[in-house]
Amino acid sequence: MDYFSTTFIAPEFRRQAVATRLLSQGEDWMRGQGMTEAVTYTSDSNTKLINLYVHHGYKIGNKYPEKKMIKLPSLKGCSTGIITQTPTSCSWS
């Protein structure tokens, strides 16, 4: 499993699919390294990033209310809904 760290797109480049391309290239690189799962942690108020990942097949996983953080594991190709822990049997499609 690998982690996506901070994703930031300069305002003048937003709404041009830059974040989508970065996510896709990151996933491609991870797959090329033999990784089958990726996660990111973000603030529970970072709705733009949460929406980006959910739009690309990630699901909200663990929530950490004391830290105001959530975990977004990749569940592409899985039939599970909202989960409470990262599954080990799921992989990218």
Q: Are 43 and 68 in contact (CB under 8 A)?
A: yes
pLDDT of residue 35: 83
- 25 lies in a domain? yes
52, 72 contact by CB (below 8 A): no
Provide the whole-model pTM. Answer: 0.69
Q: Is residue 30 part of a domain?
A: yes
- Which tens digits make up the pLDDT trace of 15-47? 999 999 998 898 888 888 888 788 888 888 888
CATH number at residue 14: 3.40.630.30
In a domain, 12, yes or no: yes
The domain tally of the chain equals 1
DSSP states of 37-61: -EEEEEETT-HHHHHHHHHTTB---
Residue ranges making up the domain that contains 37 = 2-73
